[in-house]
Structures are given as C-alpha cells and as structure tokens.
Amino acid sequence: MSIQIASAPVSWGIYEFEGIEPRFTYSTVLDQIAEAGYSGIELGPYGYLPTEPGALRRELEARNLRLLSAFVPVPLTDDRAYDVGVQESLKVGRLLAELGAMYIVLADDNGKVPELVARAGQRTGSALADDAWDAVAERVNRIAERLRAETGLSVVFHHHCAGYVETPDETRALFSRLDDAVGLCLDTGHWHYAGGDALACIAEYGARIRHLHLKDCDPNIARACRAEGKDYFQAVEAGVFCPLGHGEVDFAGVLRALTERGYSGWAVVEQDILTDDDSAPLRYARANRDYLRQLGY
C-alpha cells in the first residue's frame, strides 16, 4: 500500500486545549475534509465528533472517510493525574477499535506547564532529569500494553512543542527507554520548530516511525517568534505552522525517505491554526492536498 493522505480537525482550529472553543460544527469539518480530497481522518478531541460508534460510522461512511487514529494527551509526569489519563486513553481506544482504526497517538499533556508553553520552540536539551525519564517511559509502556491488551490498537508516541517531549534530545531520551512495540509518530512541523530536521529524524528512527503528521514550519516566522519570546499559542497564531511547501520541511525528501524504508501507512496533514478567518481552513486544506498531489501523493 502506498502512502495515503488524511486530514484532522486540528486544521480547523479544533483543539483539546481549554479555552479554545470550536468555530465549526463537526459536520462542516467532515464535509470540508472530504471536499478538499482527503480519504482519512483523525478523531480530534474526544466528544467533538459523535462518540456513539454507529453514529460516527454513518457520518464517516457518508463522506467516504476512514478513521485512523486519535491524539490522546496524558499527564506523564504527574502521578496524581496519571490514572485519569489511562482511563481516558482506554475510553478513546475502545471507540477507535469499534471503527477499525489503527493507532492511538499518545503524547504528553502539552500546553499545561507555563514554563514549557512560554519556551516552546526555544529550548534545547531536556527539561527532565534521567531518573524522571525512567518514570515517564514506564508510564508510556504501561499504557501501551493495556491499550494493546484491551483494544488491540497499536500505540505511537507524538513529540509535541510545549510539552516535556518536545526537543530531539527529549524524544531520544524517551525512546531509548520505550518498548519496541511503541512506535514514533513523526510530526514534521513540531520536529522542526523544536530545533530538529525531519530527514535526520527519519535517518535516526527508520522503521520505528509508524505514523506521520505532515506539517510545515516557516523559518522566518519561527525566528521572529523566538526573538520576540512568543509562547506556543502566540507562535501558532502568528502562523509558524504554514501551508505545506511554504516552510523549511523537505516533504519530497521526507516522503521518499520513508517510502525507501518501507513506510506504507497514512500521512495526516495538519496545519495548526488560530485565526478569525473562517475561510482559511478549507482554503489551506485544498492547497495542502494539491501540493501533495504535485509530489505524486
């Protein structure tokens, strides 16, 4: 199977973050995803799309969309909140399994620690000490084992700006401790804004990359956001994650390198936005899909 192209509600500004309310109904988002030419979708925040399996199946089948996965943030450094995160993962996982999805995309509970929000895209190294990484990795491994046992879903982990697993060093610290059964979800835009290069990531992780988020990063906006000390949400609002082909990510090289290493799954186009322009999401979605078609996907 060649790489297939999907979209996600986040490209319509649908976030799991508190205080950011959806500007679009789920039916509008699904209609526009299909209209723009995508054949798959991620779930978005639990409860945005219907959570009754039959109802969700009908909505997706009416638009010829396949449900692939869901992004599930879990507070990996907070023992007091960890059990709640486990139950949330299982709740989402059961719905995905009913719909024949492929992955749970685990992540740290990003955007909740003020210092990490303030310094997103500006940090190097690791915010956690070695012994803390041991605990974080154990929690990820335990969640992944439970999800596999109770839902049959595979687990991939998503590095993400404004969280404890943001930089290439932090991703490396975590993955050196994770079971091989846990794959990496490479998000090209977040990897670049965190100071990495997507092609170098593919060279390092190879077949461990089992899910893909295609996102671009505008180097000029990124540079300005760092110089001005903009936090994560301000950088998103400033457009640091620009339309595909307008930033520094070499998408032709990324897709070629993954294909050469046997990747044949899905690529989920995401353009994280915060805008008052209600016409922007569909316009960007069409442009991003057209750009990938020009690359042969």
Q: Whose CA is closest to 177, among 109, 130, 124?
A: 130
pLDDT of residue 164 exceeding 80, the answer is yes
User: What are 259's two structure tokens?
Assistant: 């294909």
- pLDDT at residue number 17: 79
- pLDDT at residue number 218: 98
Output the CATH code of domain 4-294.
3.20.20.150
Exposed, middle or buried: residue 52 (CB in 10 Å: 0-12, 13-18, 19+)?
Answer: exposed
Antiparallel, parallel or unpaired: β 182-187 and 40-42: unpaired
Q: What is the pLDDT of residues 16-53, one digit of tens each?
A: 877 788 889 999 999 999 999 999 999 999 999 999 99
| Residue 10 neighbours by CB distance under 10 Å | 22
Q: How far apart are CA 51 and CA 95, in angstroms?
A: 7
Domain ranges of the chain: 4-294
pLDDT of residue 1 exceeding 60, the answer is no
Give, to the nearest 10 degrees, the angle between helix 130-151 and helix 168-175. 60
User: What are 7's two structure tokens?
Assistant: 């979209």
Tokens 């079971």 correspond to 179
Q: CA-CA distances (angstroms) from residue 230 to 129, 163, 164, 249?
A: 26, 16, 18, 21
Helices vs. strands in the chain: H and E counts, helices first: 12, 8
CB 239 within 8 A of CB 277: no
Q: What is the pTM of this model?
A: 0.96
| Cβ-Cβ contacts under 8 Å for 202 (sequence gap 6 or more) | 186, 209, 254, 257, 258, 261
DSSP state of 265: S
The residues with which 107 forms a beta bridge, in sequence order, are 73
Q: What is the mean pLDDT of the chain?
A: 95
Q: What is the pLDDT of residues 56-106, one digit of tens each?
A: 999 999 999 999 999 999 999 988 888 888 999 999 999 999 999 999 999
Backbone angles phi, psi at 13, to 5 degrees: 75, 25
